Amino acid sequence: MSLLISLRRVSKSVEGEEILREVSLEVKRGEFVSVIGPSGSGKSTLLYIMGLLDRPTSGEVFFDGEKVDFSDEERLSEIRNRRIGFVFQFHYLIPELTALENVMVPMIKAGMSRKEAEERACDLLRVFGLSGKERRKPYQLSGGEQQRVAIARAVANDPDLILADEPTGNLDTKNTEIVMDLLEDLNSSGTTIVMVTHDAELSIRADRTIEIRDGRLV
């Protein structure tokens, strides 16, 4: 398998505090990788750098063989929108929009027609077990349903990579299982997934687990 992401001696400091310390890491296309470690160990910072949402203080990041230029915001935005999907612990759905409209947002931003975006969003919500709830706003959905809408939004543009930061952190056991099954299905269809979790039982469902402590890979 070819490399999708490569980090070379990546460090990140904030106000003099070193969050990541010379992290080198490779993720192959099609892998499901979990990242574990205690609170404050640098897990989320690592994920945000991999997703081009944060820039390292030093080191190099490569995405699909291309060295990332963190000063080129237009190119960063293009990669993030078309090739990377993000799922967070707090789903960050737009409260004024319906479930359908939330899923449509990244597709319209990428230039898809409203009609095409609506058709694909309907299909995704159906696949994720949300038929009949397309017109509901986030406050009318359960926590598990909101997270499934967030995952549908993350995969709307058929990204190469899904980055999930504690995607089940606020969910009960039943909805945790549903979300994990969805992520595993996406991975089985070829999507690369990197998931940050504090739950060791969930981490072992990935192909590979990376542990990070005090900003260093263990």
Q: How many CB atoms lie within 10 A of CB 131?
A: 10
Mean pLDDT taken over the chain: 89
Task: Show the tokens assigned to 104.
Answer: 């449509």
Structure letter (DSSP) for residue 173: H
| Interval 43-97: pLDDT, tens | 889 999 999 999 999 999 999 999 999 999 999 988 988 899 888 777 789 999 9
What is the strand order of the sheet 17-28 is part of? Answer: 17-28, 3-14, 58-63, 66-67
| Interval 173-201: pLDDT, tens | 887 888 888 889 889 989 999 999 888 88
Confidence class of residue 1 from pLDDT cuts 50, 70 and 90? Answer: low
Phi, psi for residue 91 in degrees, rounded to 5 = -60, -20
Q: How many CB atoms lie within 10 A of CB 160?
A: 19
CA distance 58 to 134: 44
Q: Over 70: is that where the pLDDT of 12 sits?
A: yes
Question: What are the structural domains of the chain?
Answer: 3-217 (3.40.50.300)
CA-based nearest residue to 45, from 73, 70, 84, 14: 14
What are the E-state strand segments in 56-207? 58-63, 66-67, 84-88, 161-165, 192-196
What are the E-state strand segments in 37-83? 58-63, 66-67
